[in-house]
Structure 1
Amino acid sequence: MANSSWNWRTSSTCDYSSSSSTTVKHHKHYHHHHNHQHDLLIPGLPDHIAQLCLSSINPSLLFKVCHSWRRLIYSPSFPPFFSLYAILSPPKSHHSHSIQFHNFDPISNTWKILPPPPPLHHILLHHPSFLSRNLSVQSISVSDNLILLAATTHNLTPALSHPLIFNPSQGWSVGPALTNPRRWCALGTSEGMVYVASGIGSHFSVDVAKSIEKWDPINDPIWEKKTDMKDGRFSREAVDAVGWRGKLYMVNVKGDAAKEGVVYDVEEDTWKEMPEGMLLGFRGPVAAMEEEVMYVVDEAKGILSRYNSEDDIWEKIFESQRLKGAEQMVAKQGRICVVSTAGISVVDVVAVPPRISVVELPEGFEAVAVHVLPRMPVTE
């Protein structure tokens, strides 16, 4: 399990200056006679015992102390801390694919480009026919994997016939062929399963627009068809299917436009209407923390709210100019990571009051989507 004590902007420091001069002299004398101790994580302790002691400490503190501890936190045997995995759009002058995959390490505060994925069609983010509209790239994270599932090519057709899967420890792989490759669909996950609903294939089809399929990325090599939606109104725009308490919640358009909301019960394989108060609050990207607490960012006002299911209302918890124009968000371990026109912001909703920090993007790049997964191992 990934280390839960992850920070994006670390202010804590280690202070070892309180040792007395006598203690310092003692250590110098000790190391003079026992040079092999230099290679130990903690002098006087076997490494396996030292690692047990160090694994309970915030990795951001260990990183600052010494090179041996820095190497430890990136080793396969150390509990991996969480980091950001982002889909970024390169500078306009870049002539290759219109997206790249990057990892942001919050401990070293550095970006690293991921290994290239399997060959992709050229993915388009903008089209001359839709100057005011972004063409979506749809991805999710589930079971410590980043999954890219839907995007658009230059001729406005689905870019992916198979899901592309990135695992921080194993790299890229290809998932089972989609029954109907699509774009502008509803994509989400619940209880470790991946669901894709509605959308448009190479041409509009009522059957595709009403369909929903399920895939178990760990155990199942095929997509399983589930009960159809009642109509094809969810093929108008790419939306999230938010997994919350055993159900998937989705609306058919984003922002303040009049919309329809539906709920898919993953156990009963049935469709229901969305509660009225919940539907009214879907005014931007929505995400559920560990599928237990649902959050929304009002893309027009930059307000982060939490859903109160007992009263069917959204309760404001934080507001920031940086959250205006919110396009995508994820929730993990007490943090809300938001992609907006301002870039990537991280809100610590556990803190009182909530705190926001900024993740600086590589120069010239724009964020398309962000996910939270365990850090990548470092090979020396």
Structure 2
Amino acid sequence: MTLDVAMEDGLKCVKIEQREEDEENNESSILIPGLPNHLAHLCLSNLHPSLLYGICKSWRRLIYTTSFPHFYCLYVVCSRSRAYNNSTNTASTSSSIIKQYTDREQNSIEFFCFDPISSKWSKLPNPPSSDPPIRILRHHPSFISRSLSIQSLTVAERMVLIAATTHKFLPAIERPLGFNPLCNEWFFGPPLAAPRRWCGSSSVNGNVYVASGMGSTYHSDVARSLEKWDVNEKAHEKWKWEKLAGLKDGKFSREFVDAIGYRGKLCMVNNKGHAAKESAVYDIAKDEWKEMPEGMLGGWNGPAAAAASTTTTINDESHDEMYVVDEIKGSLSKYVPEIDQWEELIESCDDLKGAEQISVGGGRVCAICDDGRLIVVVDVAAKPANVIGVVSTPPEMEAIALHILPRINADKLPQSRRF
């Protein structure tokens, strides 16, 4: 066979394969045979995506398009598990152990998304480089039993990292680092006048609030400060931090602070569990600090979170309902402001014991448990509330923080990762 004939036969094969592929794509783009796609789309949009996912490629592809109603996924901030770090640590001296450990941990934070429809984990794109580079430490070999806090929040359907610590025990984040799932992109917020750690941070109505904290050293002005960033401002060049009424003292700068945006207020406590706590409530409308109601503080016995009522949409940031998990009993309670008491929804659950952090949205309370290896999902829209699933975190990873956000549109994914 001559070279020309061989090339001609090769081109014929390519054309046949291309035609078959085009026919397959055309067939897979038809949603319901005999029905125009725009009408089929109206019919299918009324069904839960879990019913459509396993039927065919065209329905699966439809679920992840911008025109299909959003469903929500779990976005998780993770670090290498302590068991993994211990197993890979083979140095012979304490100084070399610390050096190898901190070198390995400098880029230890990773970000994952769990799709509840496909039940699959996927890794988010790497954050952009910055100057100076972000170096975050979760575990330090000199403090084996202690985890360094990494603080993040959900605002305007975005995930934002606010505060963390470097291996030199300095603030790791000079400006917020955020991820927007709707466009599958990272972004930076406005630089903080005083980068900090151990602060209180939360969001209300599209605004990020950061209170107290400590920089490279303790400073009373930082420890008493409260600042606001309006994320809804569309002109990013106008993003800035606005100073608000400060705290009366710096007691919240000593440790990680739990801060919850709830009904137009910022509620803060400086200690989880049953230990004695310092508390404060900031009234956003009046720009003033108040005492926390006695009942609210008394039942704040573990990780807490707030979200819109289950009768409203998930992105309504009025935060009508506040929940807390008692990390000792494994109980789940909802705060009732009218009587200043906590209503117990689940009396005790072994899966919830030792809960470290929770997130709320879409009628679900999701809790990080078992030293970050498991995520427990509770349906609080059901009567009675009940555990509906337990999800293992990605291999060799421990979860630090949870965020309930819209799924990433398939159109924004690389070709190799599209469904």
Please indicate the TM-score interval, normalised by the length of the shorter structure.
0.7 to 0.9
Q: Which runs of no fewer than 5 residues in structure 2 stay unpaired? A: 1-24, 89-100, 309-318
Q: SS state of the match for residue 40, structure 2? A: helix
User: Structure 1 66/262 Cα, relative in aligned 2: closer, same or farther at 3 Å?
Assistant: same
Per the alignment, residue 228 of structure 1 pairs with: 246
**3-state SS, counterpart of residue 351 of structure 1:** coil
Q: Which amino acid aligns with 2:259?
A: A
Amino acid at match of 1:117: P
Match of 1:349 in 2: 380
Aligned residue among 177, 185, 206 for 2:220: 206
How many pairs align?
A: 346
Match of 2:200 in 1: 186
| SS of residue in 2 equivalent to 1:207 | helix
- Residue 65 of structure 1: how far off its partner (Å): 1.2
Give unpaired runs (5+ residues) of structure 1. Answer: 1-34
Q: TM-score, normalised by structure 1?
A: 0.87
Q: Cα 1:39–1:187, aligned 2, differ >3 Å: closer, same or farther?
A: closer
What corresponds to 2:369 in structure 1?
340
Matches within 5 A, 1:77-88: 77-88=67-78
In the alignment, residue 298 of structure 2 is paired with which amino acid?
L
Contact 1:289–1:334 under 8 Å retained in 2 = no
Corresponding letter in the other structure for 1:77? S
Cα 1:304–1:38 shift into 2, 3 Å: closer
Alignment of structure 1 residues 122-271 onto 2, 5 Å: 122-170=135-183, 171-219=185-233, 220-271=238-289
* TM superposition shift of 1:129: 4.1
Closer/same/farther in 2, CA of residues 43 and 362 from structure 1, 3 Å limit: same
CA distance in 1, matches of 2:27, 2:174: 55
- Deviates most, 249-258 or 154-163: 249-258
1:69 equivalent in structure 2: 59
**Identity, % of aligned positions:** 53
**Matched letter for residue 380 of structure 2:** V
Higher helix share: 2
Q: 1:338/1:36 Cα in 2 relative to 1: closer, same or farther (>3 Å)? A: closer
Query: 1:130 Cα deviation (Å)?
Result: 3.1
1:55-110 residue CA offsets vs partner (Å, 9 max, x unmatched): 11100101011110001101222222100100111242493522100011111110
Equivalent AA in structure 2 for residue 51 of structure 1: H
Structure 2 residue 375 is matched with structure 1 residue 375 = no
Q: Tell me the equivalent position of 2:327.
A: 299
AA at the equivalent of 1:266: I
> What is the alpha-carbon distance in structure 2 between the residues aligned to residue 205 and residue 127 of structure 1?
24
Amino acid at match of 2:361: K
Query: TM-score normalized by structure 2?
Result: 0.79
Shift in Å at residue 223 of structure 1?
0.4
Structure 1 residue 132, shift from structure 2 partner: 2.4
Match of 2:392 among 347, 356, 360: 360
Q: Distance in 2 between matches of 1:339 and 1:211?
A: 30
Counterpart of 1:311 (choices 324, 334, 339) is 339
Amino acid aligned to 2:382: A
How many angstroms does 1:188 deviate by?
A: 0.6
Aligned to 2:295: 277
Q: Deviations over 1:109-138 (max 9, x none)?
A: 100010001234321112244332211110
Aligned position for 2:18: none
**Match in the other structure for 1:327:** 356
Cα distance in 2 between the residues matched to 1:348 and 1:201 = 39
Task: Give the alignment of 1:4-153 within 5 angstroms.
Answer: 39-90=29-80, 91-92=84-85, 93=88, 95=104, 97-119=107-129, 120-153=133-166
Q: Which moved more, 1:124-133 or 1:229-238?
A: 124-133
Indicate conservation of the 8 Å contact 2:258/2:271, yes or no.
no
RMSD: 1.7
Per-residue deviation, residues 237-271 of structure 1 (Å, max 9, x unmatched): 11232111111111122222111211101111100
On the 8 A contact 1:86/1:103 being kept in 2, the answer is: yes
- Residue identity matched to 1:112: S
CA distance in 2, matches of 1:340, 1:182: 27
User: Which stretch shows the higher mean deviation, 201-210 or 300-309?
Assistant: 300-309
- Higher Cα Rg, which structure: 2
Deviates more, 1:40-49 or 1:278-287: 40-49
8 Å contact kept, 2:366–2:375: yes
Q: Distance in 2 between matches of 1:203 and 1:338?
A: 33
